[in-house]
Amino acid sequence: MVNDTYIKNHYKRIAESYGENGLSTIKDQVIRDAEMIFFVDQIKDILNQSKNENPTLLDIGCGNGFLLKTISENFPSIKLTGLEFTPELFTIAQERKLPNCVVYNGDAREPLPFEEQFDLIVTERTIINLLSWKQQALAFQNIYKHLRPGGFYLMSESFKESWTLMNMARKEFLLDEIPISKHNVYLSESGIKSMKKIGFEEIQGVHPSNYLSTHFYVTRVLHPAIRPDGAKVTHTQFAKFFNQALPVGIGNYSPIQFRVFQKPLS
């Protein structure tokens, strides 16, 4: 499809640069840690309410397998499946040889290389790598098809509305807009409405969808506004202090949102 070569080349470079490293696809450790907390806590909550002793989970766009590894370590009883589009990342994920896990090289927009339905499906900044709403809709339809009735879809994906608010806050300090990366197309609330038309029901997760908002305001707005020229940009004591001093989820300034959906039983 259009732009597939660009996406594959981008993530080939990521694979070559980061290998199995947890910062593959995201350089901000706070974001990566928060995503792991979201997925682990949400899966734990779902399993605690379920009588299913042999749950199954599909990670679409599993990258180098870091999330699969984290889930495997926390939930050894879950049967894991990964799907990765980029050959180089697929190879890294496969070579982890995680127990009770199989990884496929495949495309979320096309018929998946298995017929199985899953209790849980997760995506971590995967849908935004599909560079049109039409392509994203195909992926959502596939997710719905492969989710068992009553199953849950957990997403950590970026949204345009909160990206706009973040840049509005930056503009107040005369800061330049942070652009959306060329390998991303952010979701929108209208896209969520389309998901609901497919059949998804959005539910309240154990963490707020805007969990990362405080971190984004501190690191993408406040710190750049007062930072002297030449001062440290990332991994600062400034960000560490305010991330600990302030509650999470203030405002809606994080493009990355944590959202949970369920497929109805009937």
Q: Is 57 helix (H, G, I), strand (E, B) or coil?
A: strand
Residue 33, C-beta contacts closer than 8 angstroms, at least 6 positions apart:
none
Domain positions in the chain: 4-159+182-212+256-262
Per-residue pLDDT of 37-49, as tens digits, reads 999 999 999 999 9
Residues in the chain, overall count: 266
Per-residue pLDDT of 163-190, as tens digits, reads 999 999 999 999 999 999 999 999 999 9
Per-residue pLDDT of 223-257, as tens digits, reads 999 999 999 999 999 999 999 999 999 999 999 99
Distance between CA 221 and CA 21 in Å, rounded? 28
Mean of per-residue pLDDT scores for the chain: 95
Distance between CA 159 and CA 170 in Å, rounded? 17
Residue 86, C-beta contacts closer than 8 angstroms, at least 6 positions apart:
7, 8, 11, 12, 15, 63
Grade residue 138 by pLDDT with cuts at 50, 70 and 90: very high
118-124 β-sheet, strand order = 101-105, 79-84, 56-60, 118-124, 147-158, 256-262, 201-203
Please tell me which residue, 93 or 8, carries the higher pLDDT value: 93
**pLDDT value at residue 22:** 81
Q: Is residue 2 predicted with pLDDT exceeding 60?
A: no
Specify whether the CB–CB gap between 153 and 42 falls below 8 A.
no
**pLDDT value at residue 1:** 52
Q: Percent of the chain, pLDDT > 90? A: 88
Q: What is the mean pLDDT of residues 192-216?
A: 97
Q: What is the mean pLDDT of residues 129-135?
A: 95
What's the pTM?
0.95
CATH of 4-159+182-212+256-262, one of 3.40.50.150, 1.10.260.40, 3.40.50.10440, 2.40.50.140: 3.40.50.150
